[in-house]
Amino acid sequence: MLIDEYATNLTFLADQRYIGRFLAAGSKQVLQDAVGMLRSQRRATIWKFSILRERPLAFRENNQRLQVDVTAIIDGRGDQVIDVRTLLRVWCLDKSLCYREGIDADLVRTRFAEAGRRVLARFHFERRVAGTVRPEPVYHLQVGGVPLDDENCWFPKQLEVPRFYFPPMDVILLCELILVNFFHEDSRDLREKPEWKRLVMKSQQTFQGAYFNDFYSHVNSEANTILGNLIL
Amino acid sequence: MPIKVVYIDDVVQDLLKYKAKFAIDSRAREKFAIEPINTPKSPGDYDRISKANPELLLIDYNLDIPDENNEVIGISGVTLSTELRKRFSEVPIVLFTRKSVFRIQDYTKIKETLCSIDEIVYKQDIFKADSSILEELYKLSAGYKTLRNQSSRSWDALMKLLGASQSDMELLEQAESPVSYGKGWAAASVAAWIRNIVLEFPGILYDQVYASMLLGISKGAFQSENVQETFAPAKYKGIFEPPDGRWWKSKLLNVAYSMMNKKERELPLRDGFPAALERRKETAIERAKCVFSGESPADWVCHVLKKPVMIKYSLSYKADNRPTVMDEARVSFEAIRTSNDFDERHVDPLGRELIPDIRKMPKPAESVSVD
């Protein structure tokens, strides 16, 4: 069963030998709680896996004083994945990167001093909302999105484009992306491990297999462009 | 001063035989003064052991032969050891037995689970010419003596006995230490912690295989006289120092980096250090080679074969309950394919899925076409 297999994979993910040592204090519990919720739905036809913004899966600060967190909502029906929506936020804890003297308002400085951090970048990996009138790829990446107030992130909420075509990214695939980009040196050993690769490959197959099969047919399509096919 | 040993056995001939052997053997006679005593059956018998003021207790396992009064103790050496630990809490206790009556495989992890036994020694092995058991027993007794004589039983005092640096102290604290703040420590539990965890599992201290892998060089290269001299400041000199040596990982890194120039420091240590060594010694240095692929430098050690391996050719292997601060145990593809000591049950389910493919896959060197 997909629920069981995914719950097991996420349990491995949280282990100290995998990403456990890269997580912020308390975040292992976030993952374990989300896995518990997932397992509790194993008899249900429709299921949902969620890690919410109020209690995200947070990584520890890296050597550039950046801290990344992940939220996720995955909907499924039986062994089928219906929807994958994940968000990756990059927080900055370094004042020199968060506040530009002489350009930013004093309020930004005050807010940064209070919170000690600020969101510098947000990346939404989403599926097209059913019934949307805007032409957007079935799975896409959107930079920005709608931040919460405590993120102190300046990004115009009205700017909802561009949306890049992008494969669905679940929590495990996002963790690999985070390790490569934010803990490149520290995670080298982990990324070499065959069992880690196996874990990531399982998520690739579950969440991206169908996407890339379709994508490949679009690459070879003579009737339409890739983007043209993906926004249909 | 020789170590005072009380040897407890139910077989009178053995008591006499080993008293004589300890007296004759040139390695033993200077270091040990042995007092053979028949198994204790009454409080008076325990007083006799106490009066001998033992610094090491050797106990036979099988104690079912009656003494001259036709009395039998009625318990095994393992059970007796718990009574003796209660009475002599700061003296090492060694089960001294024969392979024919005590099969260690039937008592796996007995040392870890029974805090009353520090070591198990087979009678037929102790005086073998190539055996280091006598030396190990001496170090065990000497270590206990140092712990006994400590006036301060604080964490800092213990760390001083190990010779730990500040950063190593922090790691040791995470290594499931039996020291509780304000309460001090008990010699037997601290001895077990040092011997069965700190010195046993790689992570804070490294043996020769791990140390050489860390530095990217072969075990042979690490054992060479000049390399040993170079890393002498990193060698563990604390209590219970094992005969085959241990090195502080933190100090190995300090020494290695101090020898490397700017360009070498920009490389991973396993590449940069051998290059630095070759530059200084003006001679080629053998690298740590992967036991499976032959590639170098290997970046881990196979738990089963005790040989260097590339992480990418190994799987996580949970063969023990080491603290998480220690290095993860991994098993090489080579051991999975060839060793009878490999136990699939220690591999987690993710790794287990890979085993059939690992057994079938050609070795990296074999997969290269030669025609």
* pLDDT tens, residue by residue, B191-204: 999 999 999 999 99
- The CA distances from residue A222 to A170, A228, A229, B254, in Å, are 31, 11, 11, 62
For residue B330, what is the nearest residue in chain A, using CA coordinates?
Answer: A193
pLDDT tens digit sequence for B41-95: 888 889 999 999 999 999 998 877 777 777 777 778 888 999 999 999 999 999 9
- Claim: this prediction has a pTM higher than 0.90: no
Cβ B299 vs Cβ B310: under 8 Å: yes
pLDDT band at A186 (very low <50, low <70, confident <90, very high): very high
Q: Do B354 and A195 touch (CB under 8 A)?
A: yes
Residue A138: exposure state from Cβ atoms within 10 A (0-12, 13-18, ≥19): middle
pLDDT tens for each residue of B26-37: 999 899 999 999
Q: Which of B318, B336, B334 is nearest to B326 (CA)?
A: B318
Give the C-alpha separation, A182 to B283, whole Å: 39
Residues of A in contact with B310 (CB under 8 A): 192
C-alpha to C-alpha distances, B370 to B63, B290, B360, B365, nearest whole angstrom: 65, 21, 20, 10
| Whether A194 and B354 lie within 8 Å, measured CB to CB | yes
Structural Rg of chain B based on CA atoms: 24
Distance CA B298, CA B310 (A): 5
B344 touching chain A per CB within 8 A: no
**What is the pLDDT, as a whole number, of residue B108?**
59
User: Which residues in chain B are contacts of A12 at CB distance < 8 A?
Assistant: 348, 350
Q: Confidence band (pLDDT; 50, 70, 90) for A132? A: confident
pLDDT at B153 over 70: yes
Among chain A residues, the shortest Cα distance to B318 is held by: A17
Q: Predicted confidence band at B105 (pLDDT cuts at 50, 70, 90)?
A: low
Q: Which of B299, B313, B351 sits opposite A195 (nearest CB)?
A: B351
pLDDT in tens, B240-257: 999 899 999 999 999 999
| Cβ pair A133, A49 in contact under 8 A | no
pLDDT for res B54? 95
pLDDT of residue B369: 46
Q: Each residue of B156-204: pLDDT tens digit? A: 999 999 999 999 999 999 999 988 777 788 899 999 999 999 999 999 9
Distance (Å, rounded) from C-alpha B79 to C-alpha B59? Answer: 10
Residue carrying structure tokens 């240095």 = B285
Q: Are B90 and B188 in contact (CB under 8 A)?
A: yes
The pLDDT of A167-190, averaged and rounded, is 97
* Residue A130 pLDDT: 84
Which of B299, B310, B350 faces A195 most closely, judged by CB atoms?
Answer: B350
pLDDT score recorded for residue B67? 76
Taking the CA atoms of chain A, what radius of gyration do you get in angstroms? 19
The 3-state secondary structure of A40-90 reads CCCCCCEEEEEECCCCCEEECCCCCCEEEEEEEEEEEECCEEEEEEEEEEE
Q: What CATH number should be reported for the domain whose range is B3-143?
A: 3.40.50.2300
* Top-confidence residue, B132 or A104: B132
Q: With beta carbons less than 8 A apart as the criterion, state whether A137 and A227 touch.
A: yes
Residue A109, pLDDT score: 83
Residue with tokens 């990217």: B216
pLDDT class for B370, splitting at 50, 70, 90? Answer: very low
User: What does the domain layout of chain B look like in residue ranges?
Assistant: 3-143, 151-198, 205-281, 300-360
Burial track B234-245 (b if 16+ CB lie within 10 A, e otherwise): bbbebbbbbeee
- Cβ–Cβ gap B299/A12 under 8 Å: no
What are the domain boundaries of chain A? 2-230
SS (H, E, C) B321-341: CCCCCCCCCEEEHHHHHHCCC
Percent of the residues in chain A that have a pLDDT greater than 90, as a whole number:
72
N-terminal to C-terminal alpha carbon distance within chain A: 31
B225 vs B175: CA distance, rounded Å:
32
Please report the pLDDT score of residue B65 as a whole number. 79
Q: Is the pLDDT of residue B222 over 90?
A: yes
Instruction: Indicate the DSSP class of residue A205.
Output: I
Return the pLDDT at A183. 97
For A56, list phi and psi in degrees, rounded to 5: -80, 170
| Chain centre distance of CA A174 | 5
Instruction: Indicate whether B371 pLDDT > 80.
Output: no
Q: Looking at residues A197-223, what average pLDDT do you find?
A: 95
| Nearest partner of B41 among B13, B68, B5, B6, judged by Cα | B68
Q: Which helix (H) or strand (E) holds B308?
A: strand B308-309
- CB of B271 within 8 Å of a chain A CB? The answer is no
For position B106, what pLDDT does the model report?
Answer: 62
Which residues, in sequence order, are bridge partners of residue A87?
A71, A124
Q: Of all residues in chain B, what percent carry a pLDDT higher than 90?
A: 72
Is residue B101 predicted with pLDDT exceeding 80? no
Pick among A195, A196, A197 to test the B interface (most B CBs inside 10 A): A195
Residue B113's pLDDT is 61
Q: How would residue B11 be classed by pLDDT, with cut points 50, 70 and 90? A: confident
Find the closest chain B residue to A186 by CA distance: B268
**Which residues of B10-130 form beta strands (DSSP E)?**
32-38, 56-59, 93-97, 119-122
- Report pLDDT digits (tens) over A48-78: 999 999 999 999 999 999 999 999 999 999 9
Q: Is 60 exceeded by the pLDDT of residue A24?
A: yes
Chain A hits for B316, CB-CB cut-off 8 Å, are 17, 193, 195
Q: Which of A16, A189, A198 sits opposite B350 (nearest CB)?
A: A198
Contact B311 A189 (CB under 8 A): yes
Question: Distance (Å, rounded) from C-alpha B289 to C-alpha B274?
Answer: 13
